[in-house]
Amino acid sequence: MTTKIEGGLPAKPVEAATVNDSGPVRAGGARGAAVAATPPVDSLRLTGQAVGLKAMARDLASPGKPDMARIEEIRNAIDSGTYEIHPQEIASRLLALERELLG
């Protein structure tokens, strides 16, 4: 099956009709009038978790100075064998941290 198209292209480009610039057209207005585009609106809303993470990141980015006196005290206690380890306290704090992270 073949189709032959007869006729040529117009001799000059077709010009669009001019549109009067009388302002934006509302629904139900003239069909030939220009329609103004609405500007894009970007918005951002952070959740409570995102705000908390942002604050934590800010706090971790600038750590405070370590308490050198406390560090020296712990080193001396370890060296002398008097440093006490409390496994129950460590376990309790780890569980509390886990609950906080899951919460």
39 and 48 in contact (C-beta within 8 Å)?
Answer: no
Enter the pTM of the model: 0.34
Q: How many helices (H) and strands (E) does the chain have?
A: 3, 0
Domains in the chain: how many in total?
1
In a domain, 48, yes or no: no
User: Which pLDDT tens digit goes with each residue over 13-65?
Assistant: 656 555 555 555 566 666 666 667 777 778 878 788 888 888 888 888 887 88
In a domain, 88, yes or no: yes
In a domain, 74, yes or no: yes
Name the residue range of residue 86's domain: 67-103
DSSP 22: S
